[in-house]
Structure 1
Amino acid sequence: MTRHMTYRTAAVAAGLERGWIEFRQTMTSVGDVLGWVWPSIIALIVMYALSDSTVPGTSFSLGSQAIPGILGMNVVLVALMGLASALTMERRDGTLLRAKATPNGVLGYLTGKVISQAGMAVAILVLVLIPAAFLFDGLDLYSVSSWLTLVWVLALGLAATLPIGAVLGSLLNGTQSLGFVMLLFTGLVAISGVFYPITALPEWLQWIGQAFPIYWLGLGMRAALLPDVMAGAEIGGSWRHLETTAVLGAWAVIGFAVAPVVLRRMARRESGSKVAR
């Protein structure tokens, strides 16, 4: 048992190092960084054009109100879709098969992927937040409570979305499947209150949006970065911290319970002949 735990510890340590190396390589590649940042850049441009519009019933800028939701959207995009895309491609090129051939190699491989994608999600959030702070008024970036809320929401959001990305990456077969998932993601963004208060949508769409992490991650980001008066534009007229913790926590628990099972089954199915085909 002790030797087994030592091997697993070594695999996790190797995964942490691998994840840090992959993160640094990605962040030094302008093309890779732009590939993740451009959706948010477009969203910032659109919201800046709407800066003179206001949230219904308030004098607060609609563009500023949308910034936290855009940050949450980007976290989900990088963490979930990034991990799913990496697993899908590296299953096909033999990377995962090589990891499988070493003791606890899959554990180390997945640890590295989780670390690199989590790091990317945080880095991209910062890269988007910096210009947003200069372009949009009304964001609360100067209080300790705002940053504390941002940290726990971000940590819980990553815990809720990374396992989903791992499951999708284990189940999807190629770029066409990823394209379909991306289409579903775009639809969820539209009904999750990212660009406009979800209370403006029909009630049945509000319930669908609230079933997925992207709405709650966006709500938590708004609670961190917007003044408390803007809670009146949300469902129930509050930031609903308890519900945010419960829903994101539930997704995290389910994800961490299901992902290892799916990943083990996927790894057992990988073979040299399958990669060759």
Structure 2
Amino acid sequence: MSPRAVAVRAGLQRGWIEFRQSVTNGQDLWSVLFFPIIALIVMFLLRNNTVPGTGFSLGSQSIPGILGMNVVLNGMLALGLSLTMDREDGTLLRAKATPNGMVGYLTGKVLSRTGTAVVGLLVPLVPAVFLFDGLELGRVSSWLTLAWVLVLGLVALLPIGAVLGSLFNTAQSMGFVSLPTMLLIGLSGVFYPISAFPDWLQWVAQAFPLYWLALGLRSAMLPDALAAAELSESWRHLETVGVLGLWAVAGLLLAPVVLRRMARRESGSAVEGRRQKAMQRTM
């Protein structure tokens, strides 16, 4: 077995351990469950409201948006935050000092965050099947669509999280990413089709993977009649595959380069400097 394959295997083992720890730790589990639980409660209260121009429940229509936002929060942003935290405490420096350590480290992080994102997605999805009417989850094709959209969406978004985590030195500085991300979620029509937006804003939204992830999730879970509210009045599966695939390829090519450059700048003095700054902030 090649050294790189050994590192990947070690990374998979590390990722499984981190995932298992996150779902058995009360604080970590609550951070994953908090948003979907609150969102489900809000959508349940709105279940008797209808989407304008239709008789379809507004609560049911918003369920794919809750799932999409979970992928962003528990996948992309959580991976970036995890990277910055590991830079602060020296974990990344230790990985750098190990042969092929960065390969194993990144493999483990991607696996653990993928598992956490899937758990964060299943938490609202399972009760939603029983609480909300109108969701088209009784067909095999719906689950197949849900599966490939989620896989492509995670592959497209996780490298972005790795790049963001490489650009910021501290976990506090990653907080500056949250507000633009939430704004992008709103502009990308994660919770509602963007067909009512101005034309220029529609083009901006379609340039980002969040729009296509949300569109794909709606196509898997909502009746085909609601496609009339979307751009081109269709679910645009081919375009979804194409755009998410392009983002995935670009991210997979860019993320290792950015991570290697970031790892080269890591040193004991840099870690100690960040640790001293963190201590000063807590005093």
Q: Does the TM-score normalized on the shorter chain lie above 0.5?
A: yes
Matches within 5 A, 1:129-208: 129-208=125-204
Instruction: Kindly indicate whether residue 254 of structure 2 is the aligned counterpart of residue 258 of structure 1.
Output: yes
Tell whether the 8 Å contact from 2:36 to 2:120 is kept in structure 1 after alignment: no
Task: Structure 1: give runs of 5+ residues left out of the alignment.
Answer: none
Structure 1 residue 128, shift from structure 2 partner: 1.4
| Equivalent of 2:5 in 9, 15, 18 | 9
Show structure 1 runs of 4+ deviating over 6 A: none
Indicate conservation of the 8 Å contact 2:79/2:109, yes or no: yes
Structure 1 position 23 matched with structure 2 position 51: no
Deviates more, 1:64-73 or 1:42-51: 42-51
Structure 2 unaligned residues grouped into runs of 5+: 274-283
For residue 141 of structure 1, report the CA deviation from its aligned partner.
1.7
What is the DSSP-based 3-state SS (H/G/I as helix, E as strand, rest coil) of the residue aligned with 1:155?
helix
Given that 2:87 and 2:170 are in contact with CA atoms closer than 8 Å, whether structure 1 keeps it comes out as no
Aligned to 1:44: 40
Give the superposition deviation at 1:46. 2.2
CA apart distance, 1:222 = 0.7
Matching residue of 1:79: 75
Q: Which residue of 2 aligns with 1:118?
A: 114
Whether the aligned pair in 1 keeps the contact of 2:36 and 2:123 (CA below 8 Å) is no
User: Quick one: which amino acid aligns to residue 69 of structure 2?
Assistant: M
Q: Please, what is the CA RMSD of the aligned residues?
A: 1.2
Residue 102 of structure 1 aligns to a residue whose secondary structure is coil
Mapped partners of 2:140, 2:159: distance in 1 = 30
1:127 aligns with 2:123: yes
Are positions 1:53 and 2:49 aligned together? yes
2:28 corresponds to: 32
Contact 1:62–1:196, Cα closer than 8 Å, also in 2: no
Equivalent-residue separation in structure 2 for 1:88 and 1:175 (angstroms): 5
Q: 1:100 aligned to 89, 96, 99, which one?
A: 96
